[in-house]
Amino acid sequence: MFEPTPPLADGVLDLHLSGIHKSFGDHDVLRGISMDITDGEFVTLLGPSGCGKTTLLRIIAGFEGADQGKVMLGKLDMGPLPAHKRPVNTVFQNYAIFPHLSVFENVAFGLRSRKIADSELRQRVMSMMELIRIADLADRQPLTLSGGQRQRVALARALVNEPDVLLLDEPLSAIDASLRHDLQVELKSLQRRTTITFILVTHDQDEAIAVSDRIMVMKDGLIEQQGSPEDVYERPVSRFVAEFLGHANILSAKRMGSLQARTSVGDLVLPSEPSWSEGTLAIRPEDIEVRDSGDAPNSLPGCVQERLFRGDHWELRVDLQGQLVRVITEPDQENQIGQNVFLEMPPDDLQVLRD
């Protein structure tokens, strides 16, 4: 089985990025990224395409140089090190498996390059292939493998080198949805067992929420928000984060008092004082309660426009003052189309966005 690396002095394998800038031509891809990643953490760089997440990963891997800023692993400055001298390995988006080598030789590639003795190499490759459950594919040629199998080969090929940090560039994006969920579970448990730092790049918010210890939401070359999945999901700081992770109802609002706002759908009590005089609020569809009466605070009258059965819940579209609000209710709710209801938006579930 895979031996976790013996514990080292605290912080030796922490990754520190500071002030990373990168531009291609006159296009600024990264505009000052700083982050500290603790040894053994599972961090996800999440964002839409073009946000710079892959470029950041490539800078950590050593495939691109940063224009400014530092990449430190503990006290080791990785900036001047070429890719093959960094204690970091990558799982590529298209797997980049050598098509002319067998699965065994693909997994053994890094160890062979480092001239590891044959008996040790064989033992390490086989135990890694058992861990990733591809031992029976050892003699297969890559062209005969399915997408999920190639994904595992790519993972084994990187992990067998026992890197200090494993970089994963959209590793599951080319895999069927059903298999993707299984692989997410495996990725998570693999990371827990190996205790290697994983940095995953993805544009799939479900994946990010499911596997990460910490999510960094990126936008236009900057980190928009970072925190635990719960934190980022429950307390988005901006409209971009609120809409990128899951679904959110966005309400434009005017500040009326320190904890009072007049929104497009009615007056609401706020959980905290906004910094703006005109801005936006967000609320998740599952945080809204459907009521028959408007007694509770922040209850607004509306009319059910559409209802869709989603198996484990109903999804309603409720018309509030002309704005359609998305609401998720229990499967036993029996609101009919055209019914007049009250929507309660508990102040604690309202998010005051910074923009």
Partner 1 sequence: MIERTEIFEGKVTTRGRMLRMGALLSAPGLLWLGVFLLLPMLGLCVLAFASRGNYGAVEWSFSLGNVKRLFGFGLFGWTPDTLMILLRSAVLAVGTTALCVTLSFPLAFWIAGRPKENRNLLMALVMVPSCTNLVIRTYAWMLALEAQMPPAWLARWTGLIGPEDSLYPGSMAVFLGMVSSMLPFAALPIYTAVERLDWSLVEAARDLYAKAFSTFRHAILPQVLPGTVAAVILTLVPSLGMFVVSDLLGGARNMLIGNLIQQQFGSASDWPYGAMVGMFLVLTSLLSLAVFQRWGGGLVPKNTVEERR
Q: Looking at 82, 257, 331, 347, which residue binds partner 1 (CB under 8 A)?
A: 82
Q: Does 98 bind partner 1 (CB under 8 A)?
A: yes
Stretch 6-45 residues interacting with partner 1 (CB under 8 A) = none
Q: Looking at 99, 311, 322, 338, which residue binds partner 1 (CB under 8 A)?
A: 99
Burial track 103-125 (b if 16+ CB lie within 10 A, e otherwise): bbbbbbbbbeeeebeeeebeebb
Q: Looking at 75, 84, 177, 348, which residue binds partner 1 (CB under 8 A)?
A: 84
CA distances from 135 to 95, 115, 131, 158, 181 (A): 18, 22, 8, 16, 22
Residues 190-209, one symbol each (x = binds partner 1 by CB under 8 A, - = not), give --------------------
Q: Does 81 bind partner 1 (CB under 8 A)?
A: no
The DSSP H or E segment spanning 299 is strand 299-309
Residue 141 vs 189, nearer CB to partner 1: 141
Dihedral (CA of 137, 142, 148, 151) sign: positive
Q: Does 55 bind partner 1 (CB under 8 A)?
A: no
DSSP state letters, 75-98: TEE-TTS-GGGSSEEEE-TT----
Q: Does 324 bind partner 1 (CB under 8 A)?
A: no
Nearest-approach distance from CB 58 to partner 1, in angstroms? 8
Q: Does 151 bind partner 1 (CB under 8 A)?
A: no
Alpha carbon distance 153, 143 (integer Å): 12
Stretch 160-179 residues interacting with partner 1 (CB under 8 A) = 161
Cβ proximity of 119 and 77 under 8 Å: no
Number of residues that bind partner 1 (CB under 8 A): 29
Q: Does 94 bind partner 1 (CB under 8 A)?
A: yes
Listed in sequence order, the residues at least 6 apart from 294 whose beta carbon sits closer than 8 Å to its beta carbon are 300, 301, 342
Nearest-approach distance from CB 225 to partner 1, in angstroms? 30
State the Rg of the chain over Cα.
Answer: 24
User: Rule CB under 8 A: which residues touch partner 1?
Assistant: 61, 63, 82-84, 89-90, 92-94, 96-102, 104-105, 109-110, 113-114, 138-139, 141, 157-158, 161
